[in-house]
Structure 1
Amino acid sequence: MSAENTAGMLDTIVIGWGKGGKTLAGTLARSGERVAMVEQSAQMYGGTCINIGCVPTKILIHEAEQAHGSDFDPQRFEAAVQRRDKLTSMMRAKNFSMLDDLESVLVLTGHATFSGPRTIKVSTETEELELSARRIIINTGSVPAQPKIEGVEIRGRVHDSTTLQHAEMPKSLIVVGGGYVGIEFASMFAQFGAKVTVLDRGERALSKEDQDIASEVQSSLVDAGVSIISSAQVTKISQDQSSATVSFELDGQAQQLEADAVLIALGRTPNTSHLGLEAAGVKVGERGEIVVDKFLATSAEGIYALGDVNGGPQFTYVSLDDHRVLANHLLGDGSRSTEDRVAVPYTIFTTPPLSRVGLSEAAAIEQGLGIKIAVKKVAEIAAMPRPKIVGDPRGVIKFVVDAHTDQILGAALMHVDSQEVINLVALAMRQKMTASSLRDQIFTHPSSTEALNEVLGQLS
């Protein structure tokens, strides 16, 4: 569809090419609607996941794992980045064509700001357009958080999770932040041969995980050569042409560390600051997130928000489920809502990966639930040869089970293939399968899944 004479013709405008937005744009277009997709960068067609997030980082992690902790070799990293770029370029082109090839979709590359209720201005390289539609969907995702620390600006030797993917391979790296992104990057760069130090402001890294699980992850990081300093309050970052220096306080004492590069990994915040939401009457929360109801509607009539930008869990698959909720609301019977979600799993791609779903033991105890715990080290699970076959028997499997109903309340799996096995556990939880029933299922051999027979057998 051409940008000419679009005034009054559009049914839906989607701002941002994230997973939920792009999928919904295609769904609505195929249903007969006239849709405009606005993406501010040609390098982001397809969204964060395929360009700078899930896919490219997992390529790099995979390539790092193939080295098995070999010495520093920047050529290996450069080769991994080239493979990363080749695949993301192919996926970006495919995502672009999936919408651009639809006759009822107008694709615009430019910055969008609201100029009024259900009206936006789009500034492209050559012109400024004003578009209106009866419905606008905001899907602009999130951006790395910028803490109030002197010298934290992303430039030179100070990076965020995006810029570090194309930086010169550092011999030494300081990671500021012991959360999921920081831990993943620490594991990856250590396996590429860098000397990595994590500065975590909490009492321990991965503070949302149970202590025994977090300790197992930390052990794998130590195996890779990562140093973790907890309770470190970073106060300043400085740099020159040859290195960067991080100043921090530890136990009341001022300390400094020097490295080739610094990664700022202190979370991500909803990307809303430049949208002009006030012009449309769209309310935001304390973190800048767009406030939505259970059907993803904002405070402004006809405007919806999908994905990271609405403050929900920052996962691509949650954004995709946002699409299902809104598509059902707009085209179906309206029966779906975000309240339907239970047992949403996640994975941290350390080596081996940590995957979790539901309640941790600590969270279950805090809620006053009567629970049973089944936990076993992977190396001690006789009926789990798969990790031993591939040469990495590290890790642990832990289940939290309701002591009265035998329902699975949560699970933490840290082992080879955990990113796959966790989906089975999550499905079992959604289908209300008891721990005993999951224990007695028939699984292929040799696999990582069959460990569930033995681990859950401890509850018999």
Structure 2
Amino acid sequence: MVYDAANPRYPGLTPARLGVDFPALIAQKDEVIHEYRDQHYASIVAPDEEGSNAIQVVPGRAVLVDAHTVEITSFDGTVRYLTGEHILIATGSAPFIPGIPGLAETPYLTSDLLASEEDMELTTLPRSLVVIGSGYIALELGQMFARFGSEVTIFTRGRSILSGYEPEIIEALTDILREEGVRIITKAQIRNVRRESEGVTLVVQKHGSEHTFTAERLLVATGRRPNSQEIGLERAGVAVDAAGAVRVDQHLRTNVAHIWAAGDVIGRETESQMATPV
């Protein structure tokens, strides 16, 4: 809406500048997230027509003990075991964080920055933003902040953004982003990151020489990794691929006949198969 107002599509419309109250937008976002989660949770635990709970929600950390048993450790330390004829794995995914020197000591945002209650959640609009990564998530968020008014620079190790996509798409999106003021640095190797008093500094190697870039905030958007570790898949005999995604067939069945998997935990190639409808 802010961008469209400033860049009307049709002749005869006068460009207009809309003010952006970023904290208010964040507050509205949080409200929508909480409302959606509350409503969805209520629909899951609601009694059926006979007054019984068809679905029981057990809070805690769950791991597979064997192919039929799940161990659940509650937040107070209590442990209980549940068994089932069938098991569904829908643990989602988490941002992949590269091992860049200095990154662990530097505050940064991830692709979950719009998730409620994240420690590094953004509450004010940064004057400038550097983005490590050039996949669709990095580009969507980079463009969003640029349209809000942030100075955005995107770094990619490859020769272009969106590695693996058709050249025509890459060229078109690159032109669009640059026309909107997004700076794209290709063939960039991030050597280290450090925290500064007023933001972050990146040391980047390109064409054999090092360059320094500074910004108020840093966004790391280098992809996502399936949440398949430390949940006992190996004890249940469930196979995963090299990226850690649970292997499934066209029916979302794993190599263990009575165990199924859905959502981000099965990887990007089948990401349209979501465990939670939106």
Question: Would you call these one fold, judging by a TM-score over 0.5?
Answer: yes
Q: How far apart, in 2, do the equivalents of 1:277 and 1:199 lie?
A: 35
Q: 1:71 to 1:258 in 2, by over 3 A?
A: farther
**2:204–2:210 contact (8 Å) kept in structure 1:** yes
Secondary structure at 2:242's aligned position in 1?
A: coil
Q: How far apart, in 2, do the equivalents of 1:312 and 1:303 lie?
A: 20
Aligned residues: CA RMSD: 2.5
Q: How far apart, in 2, do the equivalents of 1:318 and 1:164 lie?
A: 22
Q: How far apart, in 2, do the equivalents of 1:280 and 1:262 lie?
A: 39
Matched, 1:162 2:107: no
Deviations 1:257-310 (A, max 9, x none): 111111111111111112121221212211111122333222334211112212
Q: 1:71 deviation in Å?
A: 8.5
Q: How far apart, in 2, do the equivalents of 1:268 and 1:92 lie?
A: 22
Match of 2:67 in 1: 117
**2:6–2:17 contact (8 Å) kept in structure 1:** no
Q: 1:206 to 1:72 in 2, by over 3 A?
A: farther
Flag as ranges the 4+ runs of structure 1 deviating above 4 A: 69-73
| Range moving further from structure 2, 210-219 or 236-245 | 210-219
TM-score by length of 1: 0.52
**2:106–2:200 contact (8 Å) kept in structure 1:** no
Q: 1:280 to 1:209 in 2, by over 3 A?
A: closer
Q: 1:82 to 1:162 in 2, by over 3 A?
A: same
Q: How far apart, in 1, do the equivalents of 2:61 and 2:17 lie?
A: 44
Deviations 1:60-89 (A, max 9, x none): xx6x5466389997x622121122111111
**1:235–1:249 contact (8 Å) kept in structure 2:** yes
Secondary structure at 1:215's aligned position in 2?
A: helix
Letter in 1 for 2:83: S
Q: How far apart, in 2, do the equivalents of 1:71 and 1:253 lie?
A: 40
Deviations 1:140-194 (A, max 9, x none): 11111122221333x7531111136631321110001111011001100011111
Q: How far apart, in 1, do the equivalents of 2:5 and 2:254 lie?
A: 48
**1:164–1:263 contact (8 Å) kept in structure 2:** no
Matched, 1:302 2:258: yes
Listed as ranges, the matches of 1:151-230 within 5 Å are: 151-153=102-104, 157-163=107-113, 166-167=121-122, 168-230=124-186
Q: How far apart, in 1, do the equivalents of 2:23 and 2:172 lie?
A: 30
Q: 1:132 to 1:209 in 2, by over 3 A?
A: same
Asked which structure has the greater CA Rg, the reply is 1
Q: How far apart, in 2, do the equivalents of 1:208 and 1:71 lie?
A: 37
Q: How far apart, in 1, do the equivalents of 2:188 and 2:214 lie?
A: 15
Structure 1 runs not aligned, ≥5 long: 1-61, 324-460
Match of 2:21 in 1: 76
Match of 1:128 in 2: 79
Letter in 2 for 1:162: D
Secondary structure at 2:139's aligned position in 1?
A: helix
Q: How far apart, in 2, do the equivalents of 1:181 and 1:271 lie?
A: 18
**Which one has more relative contact order, counting CA pairs under 8 Å at least 6 apart?**
2
Match of 2:98 in 1: 147
Q: How far apart, in 2, do the equivalents of 1:233 and 1:164 lie?
A: 27
Deviations 1:373-410 (A, max 9, x none): xxxxxxxxxxxxxxxxxxxxxxxxxxxxxxxxxxxxxx
Match of 1:88 in 2: 33
Identity across the alignment (%)? 29
Aligned match for 2:42, one of 85, 97, 108:
97
**2:130–2:215 contact (8 Å) kept in structure 1:** yes
